[in-house]
Amino acid sequence: MVNTISGSLHSSDLGWTLSHEHLVSGMGGMDKIAQLYDPDEALRRSQEALEAAYASGIRTIIDCTPLDLGRQADIFEQLADTSPINIIAATGVYRWVPLTYYSWSADAIAEYFIKDIEIGLESTSVKAGIIKLAWDYEYRLDDGPGSPRLQLEKAARGAARASRATGVPITCHTRASDELGLPLLDIFEDEGLDLRAVTIGHSSDSRDMSYINQLLMRGTTVGLDRFQANLSDDEKRRRSQIAFDLIQSGFGDQICLGHDSASYSLNLGPSSGGGRTEDRNCWSPVPDWQIPWLIEQGVSNSDIDDIMSRSIEKTFDAASKMST
C-alpha cells in the first residue's frame, strides 16, 4: 500500500502519475516570514494546479519537497479532502544537509525518516509515502569529516535503511552532468536495497545516453522529470526523444515522467514577488505536449501506460517487498 495525504492506496490504483513535482517550494521556515509566504495563496494555487492536472488526465502527483525545501504539511491536511488527485508527500533531505544532521548517525537519520512515514509529518497525521534525496554540485566538496560529500553519503545510507524498514521507495534529485546516479546506486546496493525501489531523477538533463543506459541496466527506475513549461520546443523534442528511444529499447516500464515544477515557489526570490509567479498549468506539459508527441511518433497506448503508471507501480511494489 502507498501512503497518500488522504490515506493508503494500492499501487495499482495510482493511475497516471507525475513522478517529481512540488506544491509549495522554497526553504524551511518560510511559513514564519509573511513577506515570503502567503498560505491562502499557496493553497489556492495548489488546488487550481491540481484541478488542471486532473483535467489533463493526471491522477497522482509525487510531491518531492522535504522539510528543508519548504514542505508545508498543513497544506496537505487542507487538500486531503479537496484534491481531485492523489498526492504522495515526501520525507528526506534536500541538497545541503542541515547542520543538525552532522552529529547524527545514519541510523538516527533513518529513525527521523521512519517517524515521518509511520507517524506523520510535523504535528499532522499526514504520512510520507516517499523518501527524497538530492545530490548536486555540493557532492564535489570533499574536504574532510564534515564535508558535504560525506554528509550526503550518510544521509543516503539513512534513507536506504528507512526504505528497507518501511517499504517506502526513494526518489533522488541528481546532477546528471556529474553522473551522480551511479555513486548513489553504489551506496544503495551496499545497503541491500532493491535498486528498482529507487528513482534516479532529472536524468534527461544529460545528453549522454550511455549514462542513462548504465542506470537502467542496473535495474533502477529512471526519472525523465524536468519537462518544464518554459523549455523551448526544440528542448522539449530532445527530452521527448530520449523517452521515445528508451521505450523502443524496451525500458518503458522502467522510466517515469514529470516536470519538477511548483504551483507556489519562492525560487524567484522576494524582490521578484516570490511565489507570485502563477501558472495553474505547471503540471500539464507532460500530458498535453509530451504524451501527444510520443503518440504521434507511434508509441502505443500500452507503452504510454507503462511510462505513466506501471513504472511507478513497479517502483512502489519493489520497495514494499523489502519490508515483508
The CATH number of the domain where 67 resides is what? 3.20.20.140
pLDDT of residue 272: 40
Look at residue 95 and tell me whether its pLDDT is greater than 70: yes
Instruction: Give the mean model confidence (pLDDT) for residues 268-285.
Output: 64
Model confidence at 278, in pLDDT bands (50, 70, 90)?
Answer: low
Look at residue 203 and tell me whether its pLDDT is greater than 90: yes
Number of domains in the chain: 1
**Cell reading at 49:** 494546479
Residues 6+ apart with CB under 8 A from 55: none
Output the 3-class SS for 262-318: EEEECCCCHHHCHHHCCCCCCCCHHHHHHHHHHHHCCCCHHHHHHHHHHHHHHHHHH
Residue 95's identity, in one-letter code, is R
* Residue 288: domain span: 2-322
**CA gap 252, 272 in Å, rounded:** 40
Average pLDDT score, the chain: 92
Reported as a single tens digit per residue, the pLDDT across 150-166 is 999 999 999 999 999 99
CA distances (Å), origin 104, targets 142, 155, 314: 19, 9, 32
Model confidence at 270, in pLDDT bands (50, 70, 90)?
Answer: very low
Instruction: Give the mean model confidence (pLDDT) for residues 228-241.
Output: 94
pLDDT of residue 144: 78
Look at residue 137 and tell me whether its pLDDT is greater than 90: no
Of residues 70, 58, 57, the one with CA closest to residue 27? 70
Beta strand 130-135 pairing with 170-174? parallel
**Cell reading at 204:** 534527461
Q: Which residues pair with 200 in a beta bridge?
A: 172, 222
Percent share of the chain, pLDDT over 90: 79
Reported as a single tens digit per residue, the pLDDT across 16-29 is 999 999 999 888 87
- For residues 66 and 97, the answer to whether their CB atoms sit within 8 Å is no
- For residues 175 and 137, the answer to whether their CB atoms sit within 8 Å is yes
Instruction: Give the mean model confidence (pLDDT) for residues 239-265.
Output: 96
Neighbours of 200 (CB within 10 A): 30
